[in-house]
Amino acid sequence: MFTKKAILGMAAFGVMAALALPAMAENKATEARETVAAARATLGHFLADPDMSWIREHLDQAKAVLIVPSQGKGGFIFAGSGGVGVLLVRERDGRWSSPAFYRLASVSVGLQIGGEKSEVLLFVQSQKGVDSFLTQSFKLGADASVAAGPVGQGTQAATADVLSFSRSKGAFVGASLEGTMVKPAEDLNEAFYHKFASPVDILVRGTIKSELAKGLQEDLAQATAPRKNK
């Protein structure tokens, strides 16, 4: 038998939990919206960077792009890195899909300078690379080959499923991200679209959309539009 005090305590806990759920959901929705806005800014940074001319010249050949606004890295000898990004797939008519959210996580061993943060762009150049993002999780370098940009020349880069590009004032620049685990961020997808949203629904079927992603989609469309004397 529960005492009256215990029953009151459980009731109070239930009320607090019920009040916390909407706040948690709104925090996730805010995180998702801010990630999309930051991804749009990051795309602009890459397109304006004089060292990233390869992206400007070849972006119209990408089958998909994953934009990670801030890829954090910490530690010194044994370092872990991770970030949240959005993937957009180029459709047959040249338009770009709505964004699907993904989390990246990796562990690397080596002499690392801790604390720096990088903007990362993954240039997906094969259908195998796109299909990898439609799975529950996959590893770059194992399930989908990856090579470092930004030049993108040579056999390895030409045949890789994914090319990785990074911008940072620190030392984490030009890394291939080999060994990075990638998986859908289901909580952010649901928070952004206010319903369950699988990567297939967002990226393939195109049945789930949001006006909040329109700016990012338009920027990508403009960057990949046919140009004279290209």
Q: Tell me the one-letter amino acid at 230.
A: K
Question: What pTM does this model have?
Answer: 0.81
Let me know: does 88 contact 40? Beta carbons within 8 Å. no
pLDDT digits (tens, 9 = 90+) for 169-228: 633 355 668 888 999 999 999 999 999 999 999 999 999 999 999 999 999 999 998 765
pLDDT at 53: 85
Q: Please state the φ and ψ torsions of residue 181, each to the nearest 5 degrees.
A: -90, 135
Alpha-carbon distance of 93 to 97, in angstroms, equals 11
Q: Per-residue confidence at 18, pLDDT binned at 50, 70, 90?
A: very low
| Contacts (Cβ under 8 Å, ≥6 apart) of 137 | 181, 182, 183, 184
Contact 148, 174 (CB under 8 A): yes
| pLDDT tens, position by position, 83-112 | 899 999 999 888 999 999 999 987 554 434
Tell me the C-alpha distance between 204 and 185, whole Å: 17
Calculate the CA 62 to chain-centre distance. 15
Angle formed at CA 115 by CA 56 and CA 42, multiple of 5 degrees: 25
In this prediction, residues 114-120 reach a mean pLDDT of 69
Q: How far is CA 183 from CA 93, 115, 134, 176, in A?
A: 27, 24, 9, 18
pLDDT tens-digit readout, 131-186: 999 999 999 999 999 988 765 444 457 789 999 888 876 333 556 688 889 999 99
Paired strand residues for 100: 87
Which pLDDT value is given to residue 79? Answer: 43
Q: What is the pLDDT of residues 41-51, one digit of tens each?
A: 999 999 998 88
pLDDT confidence of residue 26: 72
| Token pair in block for residue 58 | 């070849």
The C-alpha atoms of residue 220 and residue 85 are separated, in whole angstroms, by: 15
Higher pLDDT, 74 or 52: 52
Q: What CA–CA distance (Å, rounded) separates 77 from 109?
A: 6
